């Protein structure tokens, strides 16, 4: 009986000590957690910016229309803005603003209140950072899907081709209708390719 009571007292003392430590270190704990989030969000934003600057111009240039380019830029821009907000709020949660008390020395009670209020503020900022990071990530994924969708929906232009027949040579747009191949000239004339030789070219130039 005495042993069981002693164990219960030891447990109570142990957890009371843990609770006291948690209360005293609450600001440090929140700021440490925010620091980890800050590192992760910064790494994500750095990768996002690197890929954007390296791949972005080429990818945007390949999109089929101005509307597709504007939508993609806006979506990815919003993703970047939310990512930047997430980094800023995570930094503020991890570090806060330095304060200097010059009027009079702080008492223990005042210091405890400052630490507790700082922990609440840091937690609030961390929540904002997490929400902003989530929204930014969603917009980044949406932008990637928009690029993929616009690329898949864009119809590839018909290639230009030179058709050489026994009587003449023609340059126009290569077409295949119902299994029959022909070359469509700039003036709207359609020349059947049967019996001729077709060569794919980059363009017909000024002809």
Q: Of residues 121 and 2, which shows the higher confidence score? A: 121
131, 168: one domain: no
72, 105: one domain: yes
141, 52: one domain: yes
Q: Is residue 107 pLDDT above 60, yes or no?
A: yes
Q: Is residue 155 pLDDT above 70, yes or no?
A: no
Question: Is position 80 within any domain?
Answer: yes
Q: In this predicted structure, what is the pLDDT of residue 125?
A: 87
What total number of domains does the chain contain? Answer: 2
Which residue range(s) make up the domain with 58?
A: 2-153
**Of the listed ranges 13-27, 33-47, 170-184, the one predicted with least confidence:** 13-27
Residue percentage of the chain with pLDDT more than 70 = 71
Tokens of 193: 């390719």
Question: Is position 67 within any domain?
Answer: yes
Question: Is position 206 within any domain?
Answer: no
Average pLDDT over residues 82-96: 84
Helix ranges, the chain (H): 2-24, 26-62, 66-95, 108-153
In which band, very low, low, confident or very high, does the pLDDT at 198 lie, cut at 50, 70 and 90?
confident
120, 136: one domain: yes
Rank 19-23, 102-106, 151-155, 181-185 by mean pLDDT and report only the highest: 181-185
| Average of per-residue pLDDT values in the chain | 76
SS3 call for 163: strand
Q: How far apart are CA 71 and CA 121, in angstroms?
A: 36
Residues in the chain: 207
Q: In this predicted structure, what is the pLDDT of residue 207?
A: 45
Q: Is residue 162 pLDDT above 80, yes or no?
A: yes
Average pLDDT over residues 96-112: 63
Question: Is position 207 within any domain?
Answer: no
172, 149: one domain: no
26, 113: one domain: yes
DSSP for 114-147, written as a single string: HHHHHHHHHHHHHHHHHHHHHHHHHHHHHHHHHH
Question: Is position 98 within any domain?
Answer: yes
**Of the listed ranges 13-27, 170-184, 189-203, the one predicted with least confidence:** 13-27
Q: Phi and psi for 169 in degrees, rounded to 5?
A: -125, 140
**CA neighbours closer than 13 Å in the CB half-sphere of residue 141:** 5
Question: Is position 147 within any domain?
Answer: yes
- Please, which residues have CB within 8 angstroms of residue 73's CB and are 6 or more apart in sequence? 60
In which band, very low, low, confident or very high, does the pLDDT at 181 lie, cut at 50, 70 and 90?
confident
In which band, very low, low, confident or very high, does the pLDDT at 18 lie, cut at 50, 70 and 90?
low
């Amino acid at each position: 009986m005495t042993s069981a009571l002693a164990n219960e007292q030891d447990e109570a003392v142990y957890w009371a000590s843990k609770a006291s430590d948690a209360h005293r270190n609450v600001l440090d704990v929140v700021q440490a957690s925010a620091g980890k989030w800050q590192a992760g969000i910064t790494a994500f934003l750095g990768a996002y910016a690197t890929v954007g600057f390296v791949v972005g111009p080429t990818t945007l240039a390949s999109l089929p229309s101005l509307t597709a380019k504007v939508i993609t830029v806006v979506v990815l821009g919003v993703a970047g803005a939310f990512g930047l907000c997430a980094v800023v709020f995570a930094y503020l949660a991890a570090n806060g603003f330095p304060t200097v008390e010059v009027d009079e020395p702080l008492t223990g009670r005042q210091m405890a209140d400052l630490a507790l209020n700082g922990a609440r503020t840091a937690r609030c900022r961390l929540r904002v950072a997490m929400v902003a990071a989530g929204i930014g990530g969603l917009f980044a994924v949406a932008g990637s899907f928009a690029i993929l969708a616009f690329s898949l929906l864009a119809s590839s232009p018909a290639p230009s081709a030179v058709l050489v027949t026994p009587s003449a040579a023609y340059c126009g747009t290569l077409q295949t209708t119902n299994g029959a191949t022909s070359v469509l000239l700039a003036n709207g004339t359609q020349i059947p390719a049967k019996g001729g030789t077709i060569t794919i070219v980059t363009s017909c130039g000024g002809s």
